[in-house]
Copies of this chain bind each other. A is one copy, B any other.
Amino acid sequence: MTVGKKILLAHGGGGRLTNEFINEIILPAFDNKTLSGLTDSAEIKLDSPNICFTTDSYVVKPLFFNGGDIGKLAVCGTLNDLAVSGSKPVAISLAMIIEEGLEIEILRKILNSAAQTAKQQNVSIVCGDTKVVESGSVDKIFINTSGIGTKLPGAKLGFDEIKTGDAIIISGTIGDHGMTIMSQREGIKFESSLKSDCASVGELCISLIETFGSDIKFMRDPTRGGLAATLNEIADKINCSIEIYEEKIPANSTVKAAAEMLGFDILEIANEGKFIAIVSADKAEQCLKLCQTSPNGKDAAFIGQIADKGQPLVELITAVNGRRIVQMPYGRELPRIC
């Protein structure tokens, strides 16, 4: 191997070492013709001119965690943004900013993980970029992925579609990703039984839309800020109130215990393989059943509904029928969670 064991500034310099790096590290990981052309941009022929386009940067710390790593996360995160927008993913870009001195073996693991995740979801990583900065100017590696998807013909999603009485479904347990990262970062004992939910929910979202069409009104993946942020955004955007039932919200007991121990509200914790769907009330039961047939939706649950109190408000109805207002999180709780 001519590339050596550690990343050098020259690997990002655009010269001979960049070429070696691309040929020995990048191309073998992402084996596809479009990328191998090494043109200034990837040429793609789409099935439809109606597209969704999204971008996200990933700065998660640590780079490897139970259930995933920054490579898998970067691919799943962007695929999920396309999925909840009602589109079928077509192509992904992957751009890295790497700290000089990073071990090539670490990078290789991350890239293989990203490549494998993309392959499993039948999407190609078609273009990319590598920058290397001096030691101390970035913490190991940050990754940006952008994605293009073609809009599903049956998708009619949007804040405007949501009506009073619509049901809210969550595709599974909440808080798994955030609590895994935090526990691992704090070095807390129960970390071994915590596992990030990092996964692509694309197939399930597509099958919901293809089956129920316009009865699926809105979808979103509750990442940073968790369920609390997502529901508050909806309430705010459409000026409605939302009621959710504490007892119906699925969560793993270890996640609950970890959140309690570290003083977090589980509703505010990031998820990386879940989505909420707001659906017509009379289709809620059927939607739920469809979700539960998928490995990514086996713990799906009906958790509440769009109410109408004349003001944007998210309320949690507790086990004893008490009510607590769920506020938009402040945002400082969990830095570098994704």
Q: Which residues of A contact B (CB under 8 A)?
A: 8-19, 38-59, 81-82, 84-85, 87, 91, 93-97, 126-129, 131-134, 136-139, 142, 144, 146-149, 151, 158, 220-221, 223-225, 229, 233, 237, 268, 270, 327-336
Contacts and interface: CB of A to CB of B under 8 A. Distances in A.
A335 B139 contact: no
Contacts of A237: 38
- Chain B CB count within 10 A is highest, among A13, A97, A138, for A13
B52 A43 contact: yes
- Chain B CB count within 10 A is highest, among A55, A93, A133, A149, for A55
Contact of A54 (B45, B127, B333): B127
What 10 A-B pairs come out closest when comparing CB atoms?
Answer: A14-B224, A13-B331, A15-B331, A14-B225, A41-B54, A146-B146, A15-B329, A55-B93, A10-B331, A144-B144
Nearest to A158: B39
A91 B53 CA distance: 9
- Copy count, this protein chain: 2
A147 B48 CA distance: 18
Contacts of A334: 13
Contacts of A53: 41-42, 44, 91, 93, 126-127, 148
A44 B51 contact: yes
A212 B193 CA distance: 64
A123 to B, nearest CB: 12
Contact of A138 (B11, B126, B137, B268): B137
18 contacts: A12-B331, A13-B225, A15-B333, A16-B329, A16-B330, A18-B225, A19-B233, A42-B54, A43-B85, A44-B52, A45-B49, A46-B50, A53-B148, A54-B127, A55-B146, A59-B138, A131-B142, A133-B335
Contacts of A52: 41-44
A146 to B, nearest CB: 4
Given A139-B137, A148-B148, A40 B15 contact: no
Contacts of A133: 59, 139, 335-336
A54 to B, nearest CB: 4
A93 B333 CA distance: 27
B146 A330 contact: no
Given A49-B47, A133-B335, A13 B56 contact: no
